[in-house]
């Protein structure tokens, strides 16, 4: 699959990291990240974002590079994942304000009727945030808040992260054993 991954400046860089690590050998990844996403990656994970990108086989594009492949609907991707999604980027996408590559590639996914997964991170949500999520849900996006489940008895942060990443992969049709499926 060809998958665009947009990383914005919300807490939860670890979800983007795990998603890329899991997918990069098996799928074509096209990655962009905002200025704040790059800062938060370093502060939350104590790892340089560009070192991480260099050590994984992905195509990386600067967030201001509107000439890049994923800025155009004529470049056919199978899914676009915005993870984590800040409330600012959520607002931009919900309002068609495509002033960065990140918001543009999500905008393209919507207009081309392709799979768009939004992983919004904030708490609590204001009515503005909720209205933006509803707008995007009505436009066809899947809203996947990174809420952990406890019925599968997570024992570590990795278990919690893998549950969310596994659910994202389920939604774009990638079989995975990242978390224990509910068996009743
Ligand atoms: C350490 C840090 C953590 C942040 N966490 C969040 C967050 O969880 N959710 C959010 O909506 N904004 C968060 N922000 C604020 C956004 O980074 C800010 O609104 C920024 O303009 C988002 O721009 P971007 O979406 O282009 O990355 C955080 C900022 C910093 C510095």
Which pLDDT does position 182 carry in this prediction?
A: 84
> Which tens digit of pLDDT belongs to each residue from 81-117?
999 999 999 999 999 999 999 999 999 999 999 999 9
C-alpha of residue 119 to centroid of ligand 1, in Å: 13
Alpha carbon distance 184, 172 (integer Å): 24
What lines the ligand 1 site, CB under 6 Å? 8-11, 34, 36-37, 40, 43, 86-89, 121-122
Pick from 6, 7, 8, 9 the residue to mutate for probing ligand 1's pocket: most ligand atoms within 8 Å of its CB.
9
Enter the CATH code of domain 2-171: 3.40.50.1950
Alpha carbon distance 167, 184 (integer Å): 17
**Residue having the nearest C-alpha atom to atom 13 of ligand 1:** 10
Alpha carbon distance 183, 94 (integer Å): 36
> Which tens digit of pLDDT belongs to each residue from 131-148?
999 999 999 999 999 999
Residue ranges per structural domain of the chain:
2-171
Alpha carbon distance 31, 104 (integer Å): 13
C-alpha of residue 8 to centroid of ligand 1, in Å: 7
Q: Is 0.95 topped by the overall pTM?
A: yes
């Amino acid at each position: 699959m060809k998958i665009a991954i947009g990383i914005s400046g919300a807490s939860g860089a670890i979800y983007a990291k795990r998603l890329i690590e899991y997918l990069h050998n098996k799928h074509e990844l096209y990655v962009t990240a905002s200025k704040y996403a790059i800062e938060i990656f370093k502060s939350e994970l104590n790892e340089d974002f560009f070192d991480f990108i260099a050590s994984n086989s992905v195509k990386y594009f600067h967030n201001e590079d509107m000439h890049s492949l994923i800025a155009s609907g004529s470049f056919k991707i199978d899914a676009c994942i915005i993870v984590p999604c800040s409330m600012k980027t959520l607002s931009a996408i919900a309002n068609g304000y495509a002033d960065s590559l990140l918001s543009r590639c999500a905008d393209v996914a919507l207009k081309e009727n392709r799979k768009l997964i939004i992983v919004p991170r904030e708490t609590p949500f204001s009515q503005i945030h909720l209205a933006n999520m509803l707008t995007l849900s009505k436009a066809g996006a899947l809203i996947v808040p990174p809420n952990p489940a406890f019925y599968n008895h997570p024992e570590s942060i990795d278990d919690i992260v893998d549950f969310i990443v596994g659910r994202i992969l389920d939604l774009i049709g990638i079989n995975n054993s990242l978390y224990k499926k509910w068996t009743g």
